[in-house]
Amino acid sequence: MARGPDAAGAGQGRSLADQLFNADSVGDLARDFAVLPGFDPERFLSDTLPGLGALPLMARLDHLADGLQAQLPRDFPAMADALEAAMPPPLDPARGDDDFGRFIHAVHGVLAARHGLDHPDRALDLLHAATRRFSMEYAIRPFLNRWPDRTLSRMTDWVEDPHYHVRRLVSEGTRPRLPWGRAVSIDPAAPLPLLDRLHADPTRFVTRSVANHLNDLTRRHPRAVLDRLGRWRSEGRQRPAEMDWITRHALRGAVKRGDAEALAHLGYRSGAVRADLRLETPKPRIGAALRFSVTLAADAPLPVLVDYRIGFARPGRPAEKVFKLKTTRIVPEKPLTLEKTHPLKGNATTFRLHPGPHTLVIQVNGADVASAGFELRA
């Protein structure tokens, strides 16, 4: 089997789990470990491939870790030595983005977190090596919980690491709300001095993580985020265009929630806006589209960030989602008309639609300016 990307040969409609963990990628992993004396790659394949396809994504990773563990030393320092010896070459340190590595190599982090908590220094050395092959943000979180001071101290050194994947791990591994990640018990303010250094990083892979980290923080500590962004801008250590991007990306959640301070930080002040909302399809069907237009007017020039929210009827508790409409400017005596066709997909796997009364709300600079109800039909 030739070494290649995880999704190589993936057919249309193939699940993400099947793209990432399949006979080809597991075969590549077996070849990585075949360099170890006494490791039997055929035994590993016979232990792991049967039944792999029936498991969900993250369970497949644990299953592969079980198969490797059966042939690795029980003593963790010796296991860590073996894991490092079996690692593929590091990802290209000269790149700055879009080089995520292969999910199959997250297995090194699973074993580090599973067996290394009683050997934190050796385990952190292992994660430092492993994250240069695939990000270890999930694996490092148990160490932040068990050994917070020791782990944060190590991260203080990592912010200057020559490999940008290591620098990114400092921000991504400490995120307050990491998707799929274990919760961390450290003070949310503890990583901020590390972000102070990382925000000026030259690679988007790192600055995107910094912005995502701040976006997580806006839910509970919005003022701390705004203060940090203001300080970073005044320091001038990051390029202005990149600092603008970091700011927008860091505040995107707050903007969706209509946070007035976040919007003002971005230059979107409150102002008197008149709105005329018209529904072209007041009774759309699931699988069709909601079509509407809104005309906005103001008595003074006003930069505007226009969003719309849909309140969905659902069994039990209703749900609401925010969607972007337009970032533009209203000029006096020149009403601005925006039109939108919003698809109402009936086959979406992540959010199922249900017939019933729904609502559409137009939001300008965080303030609701118009609303209308519509009936979604089956």
φ, ψ dihedrals at 126, nearest 5°? -65, -45
pLDDT for residue 94? 85
β-bridge partners, 295? 276, 337
CATH of the domain at 327: 2.60.40.10
Residues 136 and 218 in one domain: yes
| In a shared domain, residues 167 and 256 | yes
| 254, part of any domain | yes
Q: How far is CA 322 from CA 47, 252, 255, 275, 311, in A?
A: 46, 11, 10, 18, 9
Domain boundary among 264, 286, 311: 264
Nearest Cα neighbor of 157 from 120, 192, 197 is 197
Minimal CA–CA distance to 179: which of 147, 222, 135? 135
- Residue 269 resides in a domain: no
The single-letter code of the amino acid at 371 is S
Residue 124 and residue 86 share a domain: yes
Burial class (CB in 10 A: 0-12, 13-18, 19+), 359: middle
Residue 64 domain-assigned? no
Domain assignment present for 338: yes
Other residues' Cβ atoms within 10 Å of the Cβ of residue 149: 10
DSSP state for residue 106 in the 8-state scheme: G
Same domain, 127 and 187: yes
Structural domain includes residue 242: yes
End-of-domain residue from the set 195, 229, 264: 264
Report the number of distinct structural domains present in the chain: 2
Tell whether 157 and 179 lie within a shared domain. yes
* Listed residues 200, 231, 264: the one ending a domain: 264
Same domain, yes or no: 278 and 226: no
Q: What is the pLDDT of residue 100?
A: 85
Compute φ and ψ for 83, nearest 5 degrees.
Answer: -60, -45
Single-letter residue type at 329:
R
Q: What is the pLDDT of residue 13?
A: 61
Cα gap 125→130, rounded to integer Å: 9
244 in the same domain as 326: no
Which one, of 56, 60, 58, 66, lies nearest residue 23 by Cα?
Answer: 60
pLDDT in tens, the chain (378 residues): 223 334 333 444 678 999 999 999 999 999 999 999 999 999 999 999 999 999 999 999 999 999 999 999 999 999 999 999 999 999 998 887 878 899 999 999 999 999 999 999 999 999 999 999 999 999 999 999 999 999 999 999 999 999 999 999 999 999 999 998 999 999 999 999 999 999 999 999 999 999 999 999 999 999 999 999 999 999 999 999 999 999 999 999 999 888 989 999 998 987 789 999 999 999 999 999 999 999 999 999 999 999 999 999 988 888 999 999 999 999 998 999 999 999 999 877 678 899 999 999 999 998 999 999 999 999
- Residues 99 and 152 grouped into a single domain: yes
Q: Do 357 and 242 reside in the same domain of the chain? A: no
**Residue 108 and residue 150 in one domain:** yes
Cβ(251)–Cβ(225) under 8 Å?
A: yes
pLDDT at position 368: 93
Task: Please tell me the predicted confidence (pLDDT) of residue 269.
Answer: 85
130 lies in some domain: yes
CB of 168 closer than 8 Å to CB of 206: yes
Kindly state whether residues 244 and 278 are assigned to the same domain: no
Residue 366 lies in a domain: yes
Residue 221 and residue 121 in one domain: yes
Centre a 10 Å sphere on the Cβ of residue 50 and count the other Cβ atoms it contains.
9
Starting at the earlier edge strand, list the strands of the sheet with 274-279.
274-279, 289-297, 336-343
Look up the domain containing 127 and give its range.
72-264
Residues 6+ apart with CB under 8 A from 328: 303, 304, 306, 336
In a domain, 146, yes or no: yes
Specify the CATH number for the domain of residue 102. Answer: 1.25.10
